[in-house]
Structure 1
Amino acid sequence: MKRVSQMTALAMALGLACASSWAAELAKPLTLDQLQQQNGKAIDTRPSAFYNGWPQTLNGPSGHEPAALNLSASWLDKMSTEQLNEWIKQHNLKADAPVALYGNDKDVDAVKTRLQKAGFTHISILSDALSEPSRLQKLPHFEQLVYPQWLHDLQQGKEVTAKPAGRNLPVTGKSLKRPGALLSFTLSAIFPALTTSIPTKWKANRCGTKFLMNN
């Protein structure tokens, strides 16, 4: 009888430990208002192009939640523990303060795992992320950052967000030997306001392809 009681107590202890672990894994989702009331920080786990302002889907929301940080899941395999800790320090994040993640499930899970390893204990999901387009913020001149996958898909003839309309694009392999011509044509087709200022230089960076305008 005593042995049974000991086994029961052990099972209950293990159950409580598991419940505690699950609670840490699945913190209660927060709305943006709730997060701000707790002085928490939203973290966008999507690729930086979407954080900057490019819509992720056709006619989809554009930009990021107010004051959100961008920690793209795609960066994680290139970030050492020291680099992640430096990123945390630069953004004045505290491990015991609430953070709420948003993005697709895979990206959120990847970022959550790294933050937990860094000691964060109050990680939630931002439940109303990207649900109110009017409050979303964009980086200034985000349209000058065309991300590589968009250009690649355009060249392959795939459907892309904000695809230029009205003329056939010179997207053959031959035309790509003069990338400046293709890229300036593409941008001017998407954003007519840029037609008076044709890009003369371009360079790639982590956020996409940066255009340096004549003006």
Structure 2
Amino acid sequence: MSQMAKELSTKEVVSKIEKENVQLIDIRPIAAYNGWALEGEQRGGHIPGAKSIPLQWTGYMDWVEVLEEKNITKNLPIIIYGYSGNTASTMAHKMRELGYGELFIYNSFVTEWSADEALSLEQLARYQQLVYPDWVNQLIKGNTPPKYDNDDFVICHSHYDNIEDYHRGHIPGAIPIDTNSLESTETWNRRSPDELKETLEKLGIHHDTTVVLYGRFSAPTFNEEKFPGKSAGHLGALRCAAIMLYAGVNDVRILNGGITSWETKQLPLSTEAISPTPINDFGADIPGCPEIMIDPPEAKELLAADDGDLVSIRSWEEFIGERSGYHYIKKKGRIPGAIFGNCGSDAYHMENYRNFDHTMREFQEVEQAWKEGGIIADKHIAFYCGTGWRGSEAFWNAWLMGWPNVSVYDGGWYQWCNNPNNPVETGIPEQAPKSQKTMAQ
């Protein structure tokens, strides 16, 4: 039998954090780490400096890789905390089997740490807009979930010209939303204000409606699929969410992890097709938040400004011009002066912004990667990609963090490269900082 991990008091945890180089691991669900009080704690959030490694993840074969990715070393002491002593002890046992030696458990997070205003907690600034499966389940059952005071909601199952994905199984009560209803099929830019108004009214969405969006991710393969976007429904959901926020929907929420998180909780799916209940008037002028989307003139202003940056959320191969990233885009290269913000392997994957269960990556990790690449909250940051999907997901990361001035350059590479008067660059930019170049590794 392996050696038991020592239990620490709150005073001992505080002392170790102040005096020693310790590693903290928060094994609670990601929602709790972000700020949701799931077990009645007086304050939500996590102990500053803690890494999020939910105990649930240990059920995946490749969970050990997460320890390496988060730089959890065997050379420093580790403090593990969760909602109960049993879960912390279970994680300690699993880590000891992997060769981690100096392990401690802390069991008083709820009763003491969260109850003491003198002890710091960190949380995602807009965590309430990133909801979890049980929150949505409470909503559809007619209960009132936390941080919700509305009586009008619509749940949207996002897809790109793939209604079969909705019929395959969706959250009960959800209506389908085709990304094409919010994007032009010619330019892939957001539709006009009049078109957005018509779409939202047909969907029964008022500017005061709470809208919950999610999609399904089905591992699209660029080389084998003519329309890979049809398998990237959750990425499409984040695109729809950004456009709705731009239009002026006041309460837009994302189901963290999409339908994968719902299925992981073994919650029921429905195949009953739900028709929206149209309304007569959106109730506000569109766009309600015009600053969220920018076009070429504003993008060029950012490129020339000292207090703004255009950030490319594309793969390294796209950024340096080795491939365009899309079947329908022939030109290769990047917008000169843009900063590399990375995404993942291709135009339909966002590995560097997600955990392996498709939940959003720990927000401090994203912020640190951006900082190393020169992307900071003090500037006006506009994210772009090929046509807006990946740029929208990066935007949501920054917006949820509470960054004050973030946008999506809506037209992206597709719009830029189709204008022969716009300059284009290829190759590794000489002025790029080393950290920017290594983000692709």
TM-score range, shorter chain: 0.5 to 0.7
SS in 2 for 1:54: coil
2:335 aligned residue? none
Q: Which amino acid aligns with 2:140?
A: Q
* Deviation per residue, 1:112-133 (Å, 9 max, x gap): 2221111111211225533335
CA contact (8 A) 1:35 1:98 kept: no
The whole-number CA distance in structure 1 between the counterparts of 2:151 and 2:41 is: 21
* Deviation per residue, 1:101-147 (Å, 9 max, x gap): 11123432332222111111121122553333561001243233111
The whole-number CA distance in structure 1 between the counterparts of 2:253 and 2:91 is: 37
SS in 2 for 1:42: strand
Identify the structure with the greater helix proportion.
1
1:191 aligned residue? none
The whole-number CA distance in structure 1 between the counterparts of 2:28 and 2:52 is: 7
Structure 1 gaps of 5+ residues are 1-17, 189-193
* Deviation per residue, 1:29-85 (Å, 9 max, x gap): 1533222122111111100011011222457311110110011011111143xx41x
CA contact (8 A) 1:46 1:103 kept: yes
1:186 matched to 2:210? The reply is yes
Q: Which of 72, 77, 93 lines up with 2:72 in the alignment?
A: 93
SS in 2 for 1:135: coil
2:37 aligned residue? 55
Relative to structure 1, is the Cα distance of residues 107 and 28 closer, same or farther in structure 2, using a 3 angstrom cutoff?
A: closer
1:4 aligned residue? none
Number of paired residues? 182
Q: Which amino acid aligns with 2:151?
A: R
CA contact (8 A) 2:131 2:253 kept: no
The whole-number CA distance in structure 2 between the counterparts of 1:119 and 1:160 is: 41
Q: Which of 133, 137, 143 lines up with 2:128 in the alignment?
A: 143
- TM, length-normalised to structure 1: 0.66
1:25 aligned residue? 4
The whole-number CA distance in structure 1 between the counterparts of 2:254 and 2:125 is: 19
* Deviation per residue, 1:139-198 (Å, 9 max, x gap): 243233111221012212345322x23536568x8852257859x83369xxxxx89842
1:125 aligned residue? 105
1:165 aligned residue? 149
Structure 2 gaps of 5+ residues are 156-170, 178-202, 213-244, 259-357, 362-392, 400-405, 408-441
The whole-number CA distance in structure 2 between the counterparts of 1:201 and 1:29 is: 36
The whole-number CA distance in structure 2 between the counterparts of 1:49 and 1:166 is: 21
The whole-number CA distance in structure 1 between the counterparts of 2:360 and 2:34 is: 8
1:40 matched to 2:193? The reply is no
Q: Which of 90, 108, 126 lines up with 1:110 in the alignment?
A: 90
Give me the CA root mean square deviation.
3.8
CA contact (8 A) 1:71 1:111 kept: no
Moved over 4 A (4+): 168-171, 178-182, 199-203, 210-215
Identical aligned residues as a percent:
21
2:48 aligned residue? 66
The whole-number CA distance in structure 2 between the counterparts of 1:49 and 1:157 is: 21
CA contact (8 A) 1:57 1:161 kept: no
User: Which structure is higher in RCO with an 8 Å CA cutoff and minimum separation 6?
Assistant: 1
1:206 aligned residue? 359
Relative to structure 1, is the Cα distance of residues 43 and 201 closer, same or farther in structure 2, using a 3 angstrom cutoff?
A: closer
1:88 Cα deviation after fit:
2.3
The whole-number CA distance in structure 1 between the counterparts of 2:125 and 2:51 is: 16
Using the TM superposition, name which of 142-151 and 86-95 deviates more: 86-95
CA contact (8 A) 1:53 1:64 kept: yes
Q: Which amino acid aligns with 1:34?
A: S
The whole-number CA distance in structure 2 between the counterparts of 1:150 and 1:200 is: 11
1:154 aligned residue? 139
The whole-number CA distance in structure 2 between the counterparts of 1:49 and 1:155 is: 19
1:176 matched to 2:174? The reply is yes
Q: Which amino acid aligns with 1:27?
A: K
